[in-house]
A and B are shown apart, each in its own frame.
Chain A
């Protein structure tokens, strides 16, 4: 059967790969279809059909078709820019951080499963970076929200074993294997993870709940920033079983003093 269905979708470009002489394979996160992989024939030459829109973290409107059976690689017929995020592109730190956000999204989603909240999360955070100063806290807030949407919401409002609340006067440690906090009484062996300050935990809960447009006003203390990064980077590495490529690049840039993001 060779019937092809045409679709239109709003999408953030997650990844691109040059293919052959002039084609490009692109992975999108679309509002309407979730993660989608497609091939754009002649993308590197045709200004008319693609207008250089197939670039990491570009916000686009994409026209694609695929066979009724739902074969994995879609045919991208046209792609138009909705937002190139020029302020992100002209700032090294923002540009690499935006790459990290799209790589993380790709790592926590599967093709063909629609989740409009994930799409909105990406759009919201790219817009925050485009329109405001870059803060490391944005990475933490993005991560904690994405973890929740992907079904890995860390338990941060109580002990994940005995359920005592944060105000029980105990100290709390984060356990990767439990995916949540453990209070000082439940931590059986002295865990590698150091105790978290209550301020850090509350900031993360706050950063998860606040409407995205208000996040640029939420400032983390240096300690909360540092502890959040350590907790989330380690938890994400634990879930994925690997470190993201863009995170390694962020760390190299940090070692060169080219950016200020704390890469732990």
Chain B
């Protein structure tokens, strides 16, 4: 027996699919939407569709982009010889917020996670190697999180790039072991980039 009218039930079911959203929160959000103005609700629906229709992955770095290239890759002032490898667009944004980095990025879209079945084939590693081989990349900075999975990913990248004439460094200082770049304050993250160490 359903507690709500079927359209509301459907909305609750859809919202409950979101990460970290339980049945109760979904019901609260659905109720909020129900009491919103039609214009507000339409804007929400439109922005969901806009994201799906207009956002794709940058063909160079796999960051989220509105066109062929993301804003960073499209900026002629950015140094293409330095590539900072991050695990997801959130980490890229965290580093961009520091304002310390003038190079470009490479977004892996994940980290090596053996216990979740995420292996090298699931990350954008081949694309990174191709990029290093095809362009004049002088330095690769590995900025994966300093946790078990991020460390393993950094070790793998180091191994795959060995033998190529590119300097490899790893962000270091201040980011605690097991930490997450998303939750690291700007100052610490800025210093971590500045004092990166060779691998």
Q: Interface on A for B, CB 8 Å cutoff?
A: 15, 19-21, 23, 44-45, 47, 51-58, 84, 89-92, 95-96, 99-100, 102-103, 245-246, 248-250, 252-253, 256, 258
- Asked if B116 is an interface residue, CB under 8 A from chain A, the answer is yes
Q: Is B136 an interface residue (CB 8 A)?
A: no
Contact of B115 among A19, A58, A102 (CB under 8 A): A102
* CB of B34 within 8 Å of the partner chain: no
In the complex, 9 of the A-B residue pairs with CB atoms within 8 angstroms, ordered by the A residue number, are A54-B178, A55-B148, A56-B115, A89-B151, A89-B152, A246-B115, A249-B118, A249-B119, A258-B160
Instruction: Number of B interface residues at 8 Å Cβ cutoff, please give it.
Output: 27
**For residue A54, which residues in chain B have a CB less than 8 angstroms away from its CB?**
178
The answer to whether A20 and B19 touch (CB under 8 A), given A52-B178, A56-B148, A92-B152, is yes
Chain A nearest CB, measured from B102 CB (Å): 30
Nearest residue in B to A91 (C-beta to C-beta)?
A: B155
The reply on B46 being an interface residue by CB < 8 A is no
The residue of chain B having its C-beta at the shortest distance from the C-beta of A17 within the complex is: B116
- Which chain A residue shows the least CB distance to B21? A20
Q: Which of B116, B119, B147, B178 contacts A253 (CB 8 A)?
A: B119
Residues 13-30 of chain B, each 1 if its beta carbon lies under 8 Å from chain A, else 0: 000000110000000000
- Any A CB within 8 A of the CB of B112: yes
A248 and B116 CA atoms in complex are apart in Å by: 10
Contact A84–B117 (Cβ < 8 Å): no
Q: Determine the distance from Cα of A45 to Cα of B148 in the docked complex, in whole angstroms.
A: 17
Known: A44-B183, A55-B178, A253-B156. A258 touches B120 (CB 8 A): yes
A44 touches B121 (CB 8 A): no
Residues of B within 8 A of A245 (CB): 114-117
A246: which B residues are within 8 A, CB to CB? 114-115, 117
- Which B residues fall within an 8 A CB radius of A? 19-20, 112-121, 147-149, 151-152, 155-156, 159-160, 176-180, 183
Known: A245-B117, A256-B120. A47 touches B151 (CB 8 A): no
Contact at A96–B117, with CB atoms within 8 Å? Answer: no
B177 touches A52 (CB 8 A): yes
Q: How far is the CA of A148 from the CA of B51 in the complex (A)?
A: 53
**Chain A nearest CB, measured from B128 CB (Å):** 13
**Most-contacted residue by chain B among A54, A84, A99 (CB, 10 A):** A99
Tell me, in angstroms, the Cα distance from A89 to B152 when the chains sit together: 7
A206 to B119, CA, bound (A): 33
Q: Say yes or no: A253 contacts B120, CB within 8 Å.
A: yes
Taking CB as reference atom, which chain A residue is nearest B155? Answer: A92
* Residues of A contacting B115 in the complex (Cβ-Cβ under 8 angstroms): 15, 56, 99, 102-103, 245-246
Inter-chain CA distance A53–B160, complex, in Å, is 29
A102 to B148, CA, bound (A): 14
When chains A and B are docked, how far (Å) is the Cα of A100 from the Cα of B112?
A: 13
Quick one: which of B118, B120, B159, B178 has the most chain A CB within 10 A?
A: B178
Given the complex, which residues of B lie within 8 Å of A51, measured CB to CB? 178
- Give the top 6 A-B pairs by smallest Cβ distance, nearest first: A52-B178, A20-B20, A245-B117, A246-B114, A252-B119, A249-B119
Taking a contact as CB atoms under 8 Å apart, the answer to whether B176 and A90 are in contact is: no
Q: Taking A95-B155, A246-B115 as contacts, is the C-beta distance between A44 and B120 under 8 angstroms?
A: no
CB distance from A254 to the nearest CB of B (A): 10
